[in-house]
Amino acid sequence: MSSDQTQMNITSVLIKSLIGELPDTQFFLFSTRSKPKGNVTKLQPLFAYNKALTASSEYFRDLLSEETPNDLNFVEFKDHHRQGGISLDEYGYASDSDLDEEEEKEETNEAIQDNEKSELRATISAEQMPRTLSIKDSNTQEMQRGTIPSRRVLVTDAAFKTWQVLLYYLYTDEIIFAPLRSQASPTTENSKLHEPPLCSPKSMYRLACKIKHDELQTKALAAIRSSLTAHNVLQELSSSLTSRFPAILEIAVEILFQHIATPTITKDFPILIQRIVGAGSTDFPHGVEILTKLHGKMLKQQRDRRYYR
């Protein structure tokens, strides 16, 4: 995105907010994973101005120009969607790092009542948002004709955090990634209002591939590469996401090969081999491909050594 386009996006959003013009689209996304229940839950809304999105992404130009989204993971939001969430299988990425973990404890009656009140307030807010008149509407008929009713869309295959960072990036051309969970770094807290939001580079790469945003794919992939070390590459090779995206697999095998003789890899690599040998094709579908790629790199290294002798 050019710097001129970025500035136009920011200026447009700022002016619309100053004059009280409502966002065009509300996206609702799940934010929490419940392992005991096997589902994702706790919807949170994101409010977007279509013009800024369509100016930055062909995917959004197509999506927001259609009355019925041509994507099975986008459905018109109804209030009953707030109840129960959806299964992890339906969500499609059970290990998504951008989902918060639901606390595994029994709720007291008081906590349940607080949750019900919070949900009621969120429902009332969402219902009122499309119907609230902007300041423009109260002035003239000419302004009133320019107001677009807000549309509500449920997104079922990505986390709230990932989409928040996506929208922020499309507005500003700025993105900052959180560390991988496998890096064993201190827990990254949610960014403050004066800081850009954070998300997992793996979650963003998955989303960027879906929306076919090449630049965002490149940025996320670079962040994944820089996050892989001898201490976490074996864990990342076991990830379900690695099995689904050849570019991530290629990078992980490359990092593994670079550190193959380090003490950490020497100690833990046999465990990975045992997992591959003991797992079926569905449990570790990319296991054979890991070994094949690693063997190919070893052969190339041997040929290069012979050539330069």
Model confidence over 119-143: pLDDT tens digits? 444 444 444 444 333 333 333 333 3
Identify the pLDDT of residue 92: 92
Q: Give the number of residues written for the chain.
A: 309
Pseudo-torsion of CA 156, 161, 165, 171, nearest 10°?
70
Tokens of 302: 């041997």
Q: Which of 27-41, 139-153, 159-173, 250-264 has the lowest mean pLDDT?
A: 139-153
pLDDT digits (tens, 9 = 90+) for 64-101: 887 777 788 998 888 767 677 899 999 999 999 999 99
Question: Which pLDDT band holds residue 104 (cuts at 50, 70, 90)?
Answer: low
Q: Which residue has the tokens 């404890």?
A: 105
pTM equals 0.80
Question: Which pLDDT band holds residue 282 (cuts at 50, 70, 90)?
Answer: low
Residue 198 CA to residue 166 CA, distance in Å, equals 10
Alpha helix stretches (DSSP H) within the chain: 3-18, 50-56, 58-64, 88-91, 109-128, 141-145, 160-172, 201-210, 214-227, 233-237, 240-244, 246-258, 263-278, 287-307
Identify the pLDDT of residue 191: 59
Identify the pLDDT of residue 133: 33
pLDDT digits (tens, 9 = 90+) for 177-222: 999 999 976 555 555 667 889 999 999 999 999 999 999 999 999 9
Q: Residue 75: helix, strand or coil by DSSP?
A: strand
Identify the pLDDT of residue 129: 44
Average confidence score pLDDT of the chain:
82
